Amino acid sequence: MAKDVIIALDFPSAEETLAFLDKFAAEERKPFVKVGMELFYAAGADIVREIKRRGHKIFLDLKLHDIPNTVGRSMAVLSALDVDMCNLHAGGGTAMMKAAIQGLTRADGSRPLLIAVTQLTSTSEEVMHNELWIDRPLDETVMHYASLAAESGLDGVVCSPLEAGKVHSVCGEGFLTVTPGIRFDDASKGDQVRVTTPARARELGSDYIVVGRPVTAAQDPVAAYRRCIADFCAQ
């Protein structure tokens, strides 16, 4: 599986998003981009269609979590938008994950990649124990959810690059690790706590890195993106 860099388009409107993407108009390699809840709720399916029309691959990061029937039917709608990657919460259970795969699968048998969120990185072990009443250690819970995702036929999980090796050893080398929390070593961390450089993420075995502000807030976003590609995708 080829490694790639996914730029998180964390913008509040279609206008800002398209103005940002205009900077890449002359690039031969159209960046793989992530559309999250903020942009999707603001600009809807039209922004997805426009970004696809411009030749980008899209990770639609909407983190579905509902009863299996609703998730399956909703995934069918997202699949029809011709996105390349979708996600859901593994906490919805294996019936929901299997329904999602069914819903995503198009008439010709193709489908977007489907990636699971295990425990959100904002959930501490303390919150997991005291609020969610899950008594197991956090890292065991993450690996258990990853295994359930793999058994349900999903393609991978969102995780830290620091967890990529363990996910691969538990779920198989071909099970994808999509990893945010990326920073250049000469930049500030912002609100991310545990960060990894693109080069280190490659060494740790990440399959895709998700990079937001180091590219979107850079003085020269195209140069920052090229630096990510050079450091992460280098052989």
Length, in residues, of the chain:
235
Task: Select from 20-28, 102-110, 164-172, 176-184 the region that touches ligand C5P (CB under 6 A).
Answer: 176-184
Residue 63: which region, alpha, beta or left (left: phi > 0; alpha: psi -120 to 50)?
Answer: left
Please tell me the distance from the alpha carbon of residue 137 to that of residue 39, in angstroms, as a whole number: 34
- Pick between residue 97 and residue 158 the one whose CB is nearest to ligand C5P: 158
In terms of Cα–Cα distance, which of 151, 139, 131, 113 is closest to 32? 113
8 touches ligand C5P by CB under 6 A: yes
**Which position among 201, 213, 225, 227 is part of the footprint of ligand C5P (CB under 6 A)?**
213
- Which 108-137 residues touch ligand C5P, going by CB under 6 A? 121
- Pick between residue 64 and residue 68 the one whose CB is nearest to ligand C5P: 64
Q: Strand pairing partners for 32? A: 6
63 is catalytic: yes
Task: Select from 77-85, 90-98, 137-145, 212-220 the region that touches ligand C5P (CB under 6 A).
Answer: 212-220
Name the minimum Å distance from CB 59 to ligand C5P: 10
Q: How far apart, in Å, do the first and last CA atoms of the chain sit?
A: 13
Active-site residue, selected from the candidate residues 30, 52, 63, 98 = 63
Task: Select from 72-80, 135-143, 208-216, 218-226 the region that touches ligand C5P (CB under 6 A).
Answer: 208-216
CA–CA distances in Å: residue 102 to residues 57, 75, 108, 175: 21, 9, 13, 19
102 touches ligand C5P by CB under 6 A: no
Cα angle 110-90-175, degrees, rounded to a multiple of 5: 55
| 3-class secondary-structure state, position 102 | helix
31 touches ligand C5P by CB under 6 A: no
Q: How many CB atoms lie within 10 A of CB 202?
A: 20
Contacts with ligand C5P: how many residues (CB under 6 A)?
Answer: 15
Using CB under 6 A, list all residues that contact ligand C5P.
Answer: 8, 10, 36, 121, 158, 180-182, 190, 192, 210-214
Residues labelled catalytic: 63
